[in-house]
Amino acid sequence: MYAEGRNAVREAISSDATVDKVIIENGLRDAASRELTALIKESGVKFSFADKAVLDKMSSSKKHQGFIAVLSEFVYSELEDIVAACVATERPIVVLDGIEDPHNLGSIIRACECGGVSGIVIGKHRQAPVSDTVLRIAEGSASHVKIARVTNINTAIKEIKDNNVFVFSLELGGENIYKTNLTGKIAIVIGGEDTGVNALTKKLSDGVITIPMLGKINSLNASVAAGIAVFEALRQRL
């Protein structure tokens, strides 16, 4: 698994991510590259230099900026750790119900990290895993937010509710999100790109919230909707 680009490599080096080695392009002379190279050397992480053609071949994005970190397989957190963090801090949990596009997942992770959530819960089925593409889109934020991968989303929601966490589904036909109290111990369920929140999952939820819209399309990209919900919850806590 790779982290590509200066920002992603810097975050990987600075976080608790397990970095096996960093490959640096030969001949980089700009200030940003020199600074990052110095940080890599100071960190004690194994590194080597290679021609640009080598990095181009490794890179899936072709935007590596001369740096690729080789990471150990992504280590998921435990659901109970995320729930415990929510109970202790009253920061929201975000539950993803069928986000299959890795670009959406990466964007959601980035928004959730910036919004200070307790963690993200994803399923093993009908759900993109944390992959190289997701890590690249997340720009290093996956190293700073807990992500649990569970066999069954509905079972996870029941466990979340057992800890007195109020669960909202973000769907059409619910209460206006801007008029809903999103403080305290809450979880927000975000549905898949095409299917929305599963009917049983929605039924298990304690409430349904909706983002009001004035356009004719009447739908939002899943990552945009997640960002709006997370930052509305943050706004109410400030």
Note the pLDDT tens digit of each residue in 59-94: 988 889 999 999 877 889 999 999 999 999 999 999
Q: How many domains does the chain have?
A: 2
What is the Cα 204 distance to its own chain's centre?
24
Partners of 96 in the beta sheet? 190
Q: Which domain holds residue 29?
A: 2-71
Query: pLDDT tens-digit profile of 131-182?
Result: 888 988 998 899 899 999 999 999 999 999 999 999 999 999 999 999 999 9
How far apart CA 178 and CA 118 sit, in angstroms, is 21
Strand segments (E) across the chain: 2-4, 19-25, 47-50, 67-71, 93-97, 119-123, 147-150, 166-176, 186-191, 207-210
pTM over 0.75, yes/no:
yes
Q: How far is CA 111 from CA 63, 221, 224, in A?
A: 22, 13, 9
Q: 111 with 220, same domain?
A: yes
Q: What is the reported pLDDT for 217?
A: 78
Specify whether 44 is located in the same domain as 100: no
Read off the CATH number of the domain in which 100 is found. 3.40.1280.10
